Amino acid sequence: MIGIQATSIYEPERIEKAAELASKTAIPEHVIIEKFGLHEKRIATDREHASDLAIAAGKKILQEIDPMAIDVVIYFGSPFKDYQVWTASSKIQHELGTFNAYAFEMMNVSSCFPLAVKVAKDMLRSDAELNNILLVGGSKESMLINYENPRSRFMFNFADGGAAALITRLATKSEILGSSIITDGSFSQEVLVPGGGSVNPVSAEVVKEKMQYIDVPNPINMKERLDPVSIPNFTKVINQSLEKSGLALEHLKLLLPLHTKKSMFKSLCENVGINEDQAIYLTHHGHMSALDPCFGLHLAEKNEVLERGDIAVLVSAGTGYTWAATAIRWLG
């Protein structure tokens, strides 16, 4: 049985409360709590980078399994890493002592965890020599935010953390079911870091104009085009992941989404026919690139939210724009 056998998370020690975020952004604290759906988030230290956050989470998984039993290490975290043109997965493989594993990276910004779970399942199905795949991710995207830029307002929930998941063909805790993915590349230029790439290489001008931070070049155009398709696409991938599993929306017991503004979270729950308490909403963690659904699954198990036979769906979306969902059956 191919499934997610274990998850782990790493939370940096520093907590940034809504009041502190309010003072940085001039947005009232009650708006951050009620509209942004954020009470607090974690912020990494200057010495903690994406690879370190991923390693810290991965070490917890390896308390349950011999590192030498890992066949593949896949980094699924933020593309904003310690260095440019650099594979965090190689460092992670070495630092975790998973010396029998080969390592590579998947990068699809915030949508990547449901995708990575599907890829790991497909790899185990197609290669009989593989038994255990370790997914590891880190996010330090709080560093990418310019709080003086109103165009990036909806990303003020960006936070830091690490997450990991063990995918195995010998699973006893869960079974990975169907997946569904939608990409609409017409949104490919809507959210990006304009400086530091080959279009605008690092320069004094890039720094002066603060182009090293994430930006939304045309927020009005993006909102007008994205709002009509976002919830329908979320709903579609959730529904299709269940249909491909031989199930329907009425079988959904728990939703594990990325962290979004409260109104979008409420709309998503309504559209798939669940109560808000049937979803893990990361009010005290914020948005950590691709890590959110993995955090949600870990917290669900920790808080004993899932019961044997329950159907859960990991769902996320990433700028670019890709919506992805993977269903699982809980067996633990």
- What tens digit of pLDDT does each residue of 277-299 get? 999 999 999 999 999 999 999 99
**Two structure tokens written together for 264:** 């979008």
DSSP state, 330?
E
* Cα distance between residue 209 and residue 195, in whole Å: 9
Band (pLDDT 50/70/90 cuts) for residue 58 is: very high
Tell me what pLDDT residue 209 has. Answer: 96
Q: What is the pTM of this model?
A: 0.97
How far are the Cα atoms of 72, 82, 89, 90, 317 from residue 86, in angstroms, in the given order? 18, 8, 9, 9, 24
Predicted confidence (pLDDT) per residue in 63-112, tens digit: 999 999 999 999 999 999 999 999 999 999 999 999 999 999 999 999 99
SS3 61: helix
Single out the residue of 15, 17, 92 nearest to residue 53, CA to CA.
92
Smallest Cα–Cα separation from 111: which of 327, 322, 292? 322
The token duo for 210 is 């603060």
**pLDDT by residue (tens digit) across 153-196?**
999 999 999 999 999 999 999 999 999 999 999 999 999 999 99
pLDDT number for residue 87: 97
User: How confident is the model over 194-247, as pLDDT tens digits?
Assistant: 999 999 999 999 999 999 999 999 999 999 999 999 999 999 999 999 999 999
Map out the domains of the chain with their CATH numbers.
Answer: 3-172 (3.40.47.10), 176-186+217-330 (3.40.47.10)
**Beta 14-17 vs 174-183: how paired, if at all?**
unpaired
- Could you tell me how many residues make up the chain? 332
Confidence of residue 150 (pLDDT cuts 50, 70, 90): very high
Tell me: pLDDT of 8 over 90.
yes
The per-residue b/e assignment along 154-180, b for 16 or more CB within 10 angstroms, e otherwise, is: bbbbbbbbbbbbbbbbebebbbbbbbb
- Averaged pLDDT, 266-276: 98
User: What is the percentage of the chain residues whose pLDDT exceeds 90?
Assistant: 99
DSSP string, 166-185: EEETT-SSEEEEEEEEEE-G
- The pLDDT of residue 332 is 82
Contact of 14 with 159, CB cutoff 8 Å: no
